[in-house]
Amino acid sequence: MSGPNIHEIDVLHNRKGVFKNREHAGSALASMLGKYRSSDAIVLGIPAVGVPVAAEVAHELALPFDVAITKKITPPWNSEFGYGAVAFDGTVLLNEELLPQLGLDKQEITEGIQKAKTKTEKRNKRYRGDRPFPEIGGRTVILIDDGLATGITFKVTITALHQAGAERIIGAVPTGHSQTVNLIAKKVDELYCANIRGGIQYAVADAYEHWHDLSDDEVMTILYEFKQQEPEKAVPSLF
């Protein structure tokens, strides 16, 4: 760990398979974020895979919970690899260092951005309906995803939250690559990452015993179930 605003669980450093699933990872984060329990903070999860982690944190800390929808911008030949991202408010961030290596022309980049914007708008309508984005002006936002690899979606969401008037932004992820963690830490007030790992080969999924992509239906179920239950008391540290 480096940087005074970075917090981790020391015994998890550079280890794999430390979380049973995303709910367990959320509990680990909640144990680190105890000072925000029942505060005026709001928890925002990045769909899809950040939602179960964020819901668990919000539930255990008795905090309001919502989603901050962000989509990767992908090249035509690979729908999984992102060279940029679009946030819920239309903010666009491109990896300028990576673009020359991809050989994309301006039209392909423009089409990629528009495709991501369309997906963001559709997902926003499905998850939120007519409900507006929560009022975050002057508030503390705890932004959560299930891990940090390149960090592109996290970074563009931070920018969008600042533009929406967030007073403080607290980043919280179960796992992250050390290089990305240090970069993101410069853009937030505090960064909580339970499991920081280094090395050339890094995958978010390696921190979990059970990891899978989430469908929109699964996310909708989590959002519905959260609304039906009262937050419980925060659990003690799991490690």
Task: State pLDDT tens for residues 55-107.
Answer: 999 999 999 999 999 999 998 888 777 899 999 999 999 999 888 889 999 99
What are the residues facing 94 on neighbouring strands?
84
Domain boundaries, the chain: 6-69+134-228
**Interhelix angle for 178-185 vs 152-163, to 10°?**
10
Give per-residue pLDDT as tens, 20-56.
999 999 999 999 999 999 999 999 999 999 999 999 9
pTM of the model: 0.93
Fold of the domain built from segment(s) 6-69+134-228 = Rossmann fold (3.40.50)
**Interhelix angle for 51-61 vs 216-228, to 10°?**
10
